[in-house]
Amino acid sequence: MVRTGIQLYTLRDLDEPLPTLLRRVGETEFDGVEFAGFDETTPEAAADVLDETELNVAGVHVGIESLETDSDLDAVSETCTALDCERVVVPYLGVEHFETAAAVRETATRLSALADRLAERGLALSYHNHDHEFVALEGDGRNAFDLLLDETDDSVLIELDVGWAAAAGDDPVALLERLEGRAPLVHVKDVADGRPVELGDGEVALDACATAARDAGAEWLLYEHDEPTDPAASLERGAATLAERRD
């Protein structure tokens, strides 16, 4: 059975320390969390709260610049060990990395090299998309995301954000079918007019995406809302909505 969780970036505007946020999540139907930083909380202290709340860790988001030196990689590895987590996600690369076919190939090479270095430490790398990766490439029949997939192998996993894919005009269900075996983490986001909204209020086919994710071998459905008006209410709604799509 696929598990459900929340990307903690969703709750960043709640004026609460990380342990309190984790306890909030533990009171919902979510099975776990995905980290986007730790503020002043150590990974070891976070792990203690995770044990207390019986939450698991789907992955950690880490900026690519914090992954490209041995000392930084060692620190990330120590964090993942403390959290009993094996998945590291590059959460964002700017538009300039996808503007041309040459730029995409450079990005693919960079991610592939990083995936190999993480694998040496027993960690797997995923890349999380936004909408700008789906830009059409001049002189190429593919968009930048398609080329990125073609230029990388299964060592570079994809954390597909179905909402941003839909906002870009692509079909997240078809993408999940293409990513079979390569998308263990899937971000479930809803969008309307290109902007994030609460689950069920937008244009994303949530049931179809959840089914496609499970069929593609996803291990986690992760709720994320970039701009929630009420983060606490969004947490509750996201947990209940995804719980209905866990099986």
Check which CATH number belongs to the domain holding 121 and give it.
Answer: 3.20.20.150
Closest CA to 46 of 78, 74, 22, 63: 22
In the structure, how many helices (H) and strands (E) does the chain have?
A: 9, 10
Question: Do 98 and 106 form a contact (C-beta atoms < 8 A)?
Answer: no
The number of beta carbons lying within 10 Å of the beta carbon of residue 51 is 10
93 pLDDT band, cuts 50/70/90, is very high
State yes or no: pLDDT of 247 exceeds 80: no
How many structural domains comprise the chain?
Answer: 1
> Among residues of the chain, what percentage have pLDDT more than 90?
96
The residues near 195 (Cβ < 8 Å, ≥ 6 apart) are 167, 227
pLDDT tens digits, residue range 195-236? 999 999 999 999 999 999 999 999 999 999 999 999 999 999
Q: Could you list the residue range(s) of the whole structural domain that residue 126 is in?
A: 3-243
Question: Which pLDDT band holds residue 97 (cuts at 50, 70, 90)?
Answer: very high
Other C-beta atoms closer than 10 Å to the C-beta of 158 total 24
- For the cut 90, the answer to whether the pLDDT of residue 109 exceeds it is yes
| Predicted pLDDT at 1 | 85
Residue 158 has pLDDT above 80, yes or no: yes
| pLDDT at 139 (0 to 100) | 86
DSSP 37-106: --TT--HHHHHHHHHHHT-EEEEEE--GGGSSSHHHHHHHHHHHHHHT--EEEE----GGGSSSHHHHHH
pLDDT band for position 19 (50/70/90)?
very high
In terms of pTM, does the model score above 0.85?
yes
Express each pLDDT in 48-79 by its tens digit: 999 999 999 999 999 999 999 989 999 999 99
The predicted-structure confidence for 117-143, as pLDDT tens digits, reads as follows 999 999 999 999 999 999 999 988 899
- Residue 24 Rama label (left phi>0; alpha psi -120 to 50; beta): alpha
In this structure, what token pair is assigned to residue 71? 């000392």
Higher pLDDT, 1 or 177: 177
pLDDT at residue 36 above 80? yes
Give every CB contact of residue 247 below 8 A, 6+ residues apart in sequence: 1
- What radius of gyration do the chain's Cα atoms show? 17
**Among the listed residues 104, 120, 20, 111, the one whose alpha carbon sits nearest the alpha carbon of residue 70:** 120
Residues in the chain: 247
CB atoms within 10 A of CB 50: 23
Mean pLDDT across the chain, nearest whole number?
A: 97
Q: What is the mean pLDDT of residues 150-160?
A: 98
Burial string for 120-131 (b: 16+ CB within 10 Å, else e) reads: eeebbbbbbbbb
